Amino acid sequence: MSLSDLDDQVGFSIYYSAQRSVLRHLATFVSFVGVDMWYVVALLLAALRFNAEALEILPFFQGLDVDFFLELFNEVMVLMLLSSYVKLLLGRLRPVYAEQRKIYVATGDFYSFPSGHSCCTCYLLRQLVILLALDNSSPSLARGLVFGVTMLVSWARVAKGRHYPIDSIVGAGLGEFVAEMVTHFGFEAWGQLKFAVAVVGTVELFFLILSPKHRTPGFNVAPLALFMLWASAPFKISRPLGDNTEIISYPLAALCLLRVIFYPQSLAQSTIMVLTPSSTSLARQKYE
């Protein structure tokens, strides 16, 4: 049996066993909480922090500023974009034994390898343990937290039939690799790489505007996401172009916003579909 066949069989076994029990609901919950909800939560926390003094909730933020939460939104979006480009290059289809959701935002999200959720979860957890200084005070706890939660999210993606096991394992490894690179080269270099990924995403957006036949079903969400990405760029912890960041980011944010303004209805419909946790139903009772 080849590695690909083994990957397929193990993935189906995990998927099939989960769908026949309440684990399917746990998989949906973990998959959503692990990454998807943080797009909205990060922006909500940024808004609350901005008005923290007026709302008298400043002590709850423990010294964290608005730029921290904007950076969190930025991290999630850029990592998912980065993994989608890797998926597009490698082109491995998602599991055939599961019913796949019909809406994707990034072009590469149609494909499976590697798992963006596993990548993003592992990276964010690595940054969390550094922020809380757990890697110094409780290294065993830090390793257990990163490994345990990453494996839970990775299992959820396989149990939902969105990925094969190897997709999730490699995705987690990619998140670990990116975290190590950020630690080694610093946030300034990471900020410049994120800037480059955002530029590629914007070029892709303009290409799809001019070429409708290549658009994904969730295409209309992309202009809003990129608008928020560019609009928040000058307020991030690491400004990719220093004092010149606004000169590039604000015009690009304005161009993305124009697309949002002219297509509000389709944007609203697509956003609701993208942010709604996808159901996990057993596509086939028998795997052939």
What is the model's pTM? 0.78
CA–CA separation, 32 vs 153, rounded Å?
9
Cα-based angle 27, 29, 32 (whole degrees, multiple of 5): 105
What are the sequence ranges of the domains in the chain? 3-275
Task: Give residue 287's pLDDT.
Answer: 43
**Cβ neighbours of residue 241 under 8 Å, at least 6 residues apart?**
195, 247, 248
Q: Output the tens digit of pLDDT for each of the chain's 288 residues.
A: 678 778 888 888 888 888 878 888 888 888 888 777 777 788 888 888 777 777 767 677 766 777 777 777 888 888 888 888 888 888 888 888 877 766 677 777 788 888 988 998 888 888 877 776 666 677 788 788 888 889 999 999 998 888 999 999 999 999 889 888 888 887 778 878 888 888 888 888 888 888 888 777 777 777 888 888 888 776 665 666 677 777 888 888 888 888 777 765 555 555 555 455 555 444 444 444
Distances (CA, A) of 80 to 38, 194, 244: 12, 11, 26
Q: Which amino acid is at 274?
A: V
pLDDT at 165: 92
pLDDT of residue 3: 80
Tokens coding 92: 């491995």
279: left (phi over 0), alpha (psi -120 to 50) or beta: beta
Q: Please, where are the H alpha helices in the chain?
A: 3-19, 23-31, 38-50, 52-55, 66-90, 116-131, 134-137, 139-159, 165-185, 187-210, 221-232, 245-262, 264-275
Rounded to whole angstroms, the Cα distance separating 174 from 155 reads: 16
Following DSSP, what letter does each residue of 20-69 receive, concatenated?
A: TSTHHHHHHHHHIIIIITHHHHHHHHHHHHHTHHHHT-GGGGTT--HHHH
The residues near 267 (Cβ < 8 Å, ≥ 6 apart) are 220, 221, 223, 224, 260
Q: Say what the pLDDT of residue 240 is.
A: 66
Determine the pLDDT at residue 133: 64
C-alpha to C-alpha distance for 183 and 126, rounded to whole angstroms: 10
The one-letter code for the residue type at 185 is: F
Enumerate residues 6+ apart whose C-beta is below 8 A from 177: none
Distance CA 260, CA 203 (A): 16
**What is the C-alpha to C-alpha distance for residues 150 and 43, in angstroms, rounded to an integer?**
23
Residues in the chain: 288
Q: What is the per-residue pLDDT for 235?
A: 63
The answer to whether 229 touches 198, Cβ cutoff 8 Å, is yes
Amino acid at position 143, single letter: R
